[in-house]
């Protein structure tokens, strides 16, 4: 019977390391990455030793939308180690390329709204809500397309591991409904959602409260100014989480 595992990976370096550890322990026949389909061939070639890391990065940058480095930064540790596990494993990227590009464009819109908020010191709430709704709608449509490919790939193997974002619970539910034995594991826990992630979840749940949204948007802008502008994205998210979960014992930082 087919077994499909979901590794839900937040955008942190620690989650990247844990994903790598799980893959090595589970030894799946195929790994599915939540990266755009148009870079699948490059990553599979790299995993088989046909490209070195620098050549891979150069080729990826030619195919990814702006900001190019941001889309693969959270996979940096995983990708560097992939040749050591990928020679006997098939690698797939299941994110719909067109949907990925649309989401990248929406991210730029959100960035521009954030910059306007900083300059004008005013939140354009209606514009924020419209852009966030477009982002969430695009994600929902993308998940539907992605699941079709995930199910198609899964049917060709006995054991696969799929790395996903927090939509992993949706993928698992769909796999279960399709008769595929599946499990899910959340990496780098506990995790505290960033303001933008919280905003999108509230939109998805149709829980729009203007007062709460204004507060979260201001918090997102502060997150940009005090974290994102000062350090790489994965480090910024980890610092954010660590400070929000200050009551937890400090965790040992494992090397990648």
More confident residue, 28 or 231: 28
Q: Would the CA dihedral through 17, 20, 25, 31 be positive or negative?
A: positive
Residue among 219, 142, 213, 155 nearest 182 (CA):
155
Is the pLDDT score of 249 beyond 70? no
CA distance 209 to 5: 36
Res 99: pLDDT: 85
> Could you tell me the pLDDT band of residue 255, with boundaries at 50, 70 and 90?
very low
Residue among 40, 23, 16, 233 nearest 149 (CA):
40
Q: What's the rounded mean pLDDT across residues 128-141?
A: 85
Res 185: pLDDT: 97
In this prediction the pTM is 0.87
Residue 241: count of CB within 10 angstroms of its CB: 19
Res 137: pLDDT: 81
Q: What's the rounded mean pLDDT across residues 64-70?
A: 76
Is the pLDDT score of 95 beyond 60? yes
Q: What's the rounded mean pLDDT across residues 135-163?
A: 87
Q: What's the rounded mean pLDDT across residues 65-74?
A: 77
Q: What's the rounded mean pLDDT across residues 194-212?
A: 91
Mean pLDDT of the chain: 88
Is the pLDDT score of 256 beyond 50? no
138-159 burial: b if 16+ Cβ within 10 Å, else e: bbeebbeebbebbbebbeeeee
DSSP for 169-222? HHHHHHHHHTT-EEEEEE-S-S----HHHHHHHHHHTT---HHHHHHHHHHHHH
Task: Look at residue 166 and give its three-state secondary structure.
Answer: coil
184-193 burial: b if 16+ Cβ within 10 Å, else e: bbbbbeebeb
> Could you tell me the pLDDT band of residue 219, with boundaries at 50, 70 and 90?
very high
- Please tell me the number of Cα atoms within 13 Å of 70 on its side-chain side: 13
Is the pLDDT score of 250 beyond 60? no
Is the pLDDT score of 248 beyond 60? no
89-123 burial: b if 16+ Cβ within 10 Å, else e: bbbbbbbbbebbebbbebbebbeebbeebeeeeeb
**High-pLDDT (> 90) share of the chain, %:** 52
What is the C-alpha R_g of the chain? 19
């Amino acid at each position: 019977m087919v077994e499909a595992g979901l590794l839900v990976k937040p955008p942190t370096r620690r989650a990247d390391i844990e994903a790598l550890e799980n893959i090595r322990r589970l030894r799946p026949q195929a790994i599915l990455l939540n990266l755009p389909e148009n870079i699948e061939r490059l990553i599979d070639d790299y995993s088989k030793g046909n490209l070195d890391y620098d050549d891979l990065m150069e080729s990826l940058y030619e195919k990814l939308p702006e900001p190019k480095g941001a889309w693969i930064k959270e996979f940096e540790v995983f990708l560097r180690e992939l040749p050591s596990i990928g020679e006997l494993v098939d690698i797939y990227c299941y994110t719909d390329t067109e949907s990925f590009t649309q989401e990248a464009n929406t991210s730029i819109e959100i960035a521009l709204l954030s910059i306007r908020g900083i300059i004008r010191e005013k939140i354009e709430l209606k514009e924020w809500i419209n852009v966030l709704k477009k982002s969430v709608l695009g994600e929902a449509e993308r998940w539907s397309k992605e699941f079709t490919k995930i199910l198609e790939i899964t049917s060709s193997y006995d054991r696969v591991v799929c790395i996903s974002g927090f939509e992993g619970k949706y993928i698992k539910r769909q796999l279960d409904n399709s008769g595929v034995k599946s499990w899910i594991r959340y990496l780098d826990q506990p995790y505290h959602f960033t303001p933008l992630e919280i905003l999108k979840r509230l939109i998805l749940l149709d829980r729009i409260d203007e007062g709460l949204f204004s507060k979260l948007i201001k918090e997102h802008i502060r997150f940009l100014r005090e974290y994102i502008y000062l350090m790489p994205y994965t480090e910024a998210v980890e610092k954010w989480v660590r400070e929000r979960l200050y009551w937890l014992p400090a965790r040992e930082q494992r090397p990648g």
